């Protein structure tokens, strides 16, 4: 653990903690899960099992009077589903996680809780490598993960739920714009449920909306 003690470097880090804390909004977790493959609110529910997770990077942890921040914690896992029409049948799930715990109450955040935010990708292993290099490639879904927890899943064991969101942008199979849940453990192994909408042909050709 890297500890910032004093001077301008400490003040810059503390200021950065505050900015980071304000962006990690507390979201409710533990939403009811829909049955995979069913229509939900104009979209379709897909479900993947995330397994064989491996920590690629443990990132960097900094502590100050503002709180404790870990960023750059990266996990990769195998994602599989039995749904024949899923946008990704077998793929690589990668999540880059940031976790922050304030030392005192901040707007929208409580001292002692951990605010976890991740950016993730789900990439089809069967898609050509060249195709994956394009901005809106046909083999990748991208999204965000948010959770408010009583423990730090980057250092402590335990089960947790997180809200998941996919932005409105073309992804694997033309699916995009959805939300769902991750239910799993500190290894980020578990179940990823996403309710996705299908973009029209004009939306897919036009890029992000």
Q: What is the pLDDT of residue 128?
A: 63
Q: What is the pLDDT of residue 138?
A: 67
Domain extent listing, the chain:
2-206
Q: What is the pLDDT of residue 201?
A: 58
Query: Would you tell me how many other CB atoms lie within 10 Å of the CB of residue 29?
Result: 17
Which mean pLDDT values do the consecutive 10-residue runs of the chain (209 residues) have? Answer: 42 46 39 40 85 98 96 98 87 97 96 97 79 64 95 97 84 72 98 84 48
Q: What is the pLDDT of residue 176?
A: 66
Report how far residue 166's alpha carbon sits from residue 91's, in angstroms, rounded to the nearest whole number.
Answer: 17
Closest CA to 209 of 123, 136, 124: 136
Which residues are registered as beta bridge partners of 47? 193
């Amino acid at each position: 653990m890297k500890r910032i003690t004093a001077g301008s470097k400490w003040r810059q880090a503390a200021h950065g903690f505050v900015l980071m804390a304000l962006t990690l909004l507390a979201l409710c977790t533990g939403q009811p899960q829909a049955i995979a493959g069913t229509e939900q609110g104009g979209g379709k529910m897909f479900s993947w099992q995330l397994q064989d997770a491996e920590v690629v990077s443990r990132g960097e942890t900094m502590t100050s009077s503002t709180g404790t921040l870990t960023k750059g914690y990266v996990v990769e896992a195998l994602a599989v589903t039995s749904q024949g029409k899923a946008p990704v049948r077998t793929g690589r799930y990668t999540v880059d996680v940031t976790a922050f715990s304030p030392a005192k109450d901040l707007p929208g955040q409580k001292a002692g809780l951990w605010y976890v935010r991740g950016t993730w990708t789900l990439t089809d292993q069967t898609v050509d490598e060249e195709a994956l290099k394009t901005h809106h490639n046909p083999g990748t879904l991208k999204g965000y993960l948010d959770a408010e927890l009583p423990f730090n899943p980057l250092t402590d064991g335990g089960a947790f739920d997180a809200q998941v969101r996919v932005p409105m942008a073309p992804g694997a199979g033309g699916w995009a714009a959805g939300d769902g849940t991750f239910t799993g453990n500190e290894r980020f192994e578990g179940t990823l449920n996403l309710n996705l909408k299908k973009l029209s042909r004009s939306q897919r050709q036009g890029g992000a909306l």
